[in-house]
Chain A
């Protein structure tokens, strides 16, 4: 069974940092692109970032570029999102998802990040 389990969310003050992790199982992690997508409470989906199969290529939404860094460890079947200079508007459920370079077909259940003083 395919599983993606996010962790690392929580409450952080504005300007702070947080590192999210996503552990994959049930499929060959190193064969898939990985994405982060977020959703503010009661709002729509917002794509955040993606990383190529071997980690050699990454892209970001304009709203997080320069503040967030996506990375992966294929040996440990784990995806990461390092989030710096956090703002209130970064408050959301963060989902990791696997799939193609553009679309995704496996999703985790998400981890909540709350940015507040």
Chain B
């Protein structure tokens, strides 16, 4: 199975800052089939990005995704208070889907 490694584990930032999250795959992901999810405490995850760079419905344009092959990033151009959460990448390029371990973005 494809292993996804997210870094860093935790980021402490202030509202208004720019943040870039990394997701690295153990092997190339077919067709850049990579998604990003946001999860807040006590809530179910919410789709943010699919196909590496396509924003899901209702996601503000301060969120952007990029990457291909084994290296992908999620960028939030200016953090809003509601953006502080845990972010997970997920690949769906193989028959067995996998998630990364998550990156927590916390308020500094």
Question: Which residues of A are in contact with B by a Cβ distance under 8 Å?
Answer: 35, 37, 44-47, 50, 59-62, 95, 97, 99-105, 107-110
Contacts and interface: CB of A to CB of B under 8 A. Distances in A.
Interface residues of B, number: 25
B97 A95 contact: no
Interface residues of B, dominant DSSP: loop
Contact of B1 (A35, A37, A62, A104): A62
Contacts of B35: 102-103
Contacts of A108: 44
Contact of A45 (B47, B56, B95, B99): B99
B8 interface: no
A99 B47 contact: yes
A113 to B, nearest CB: 16
A95 B47 CA distance: 14
Contacts of A101: 92
A109 B44 contact: yes
B37 A100 contact: no
A23 B101 CA distance: 28
A61 B100 CA distance: 14
A102 B102 contact: no
A47 B90 contact: yes
16 contacts: A37-B45, A44-B99, A44-B101, A45-B39, A45-B90, A47-B98, A60-B96, A62-B1, A62-B96, A100-B92, A102-B50, A103-B47, A103-B92, A104-B47, A105-B47, A105-B56
Contacts of A45: 37, 39, 45, 88, 90, 99, 102
Shortest 6 CB-CB contacts between residues of A and residues of B: A102-B92, A107-B44, A103-B35, A47-B97, A45-B99, A103-B50
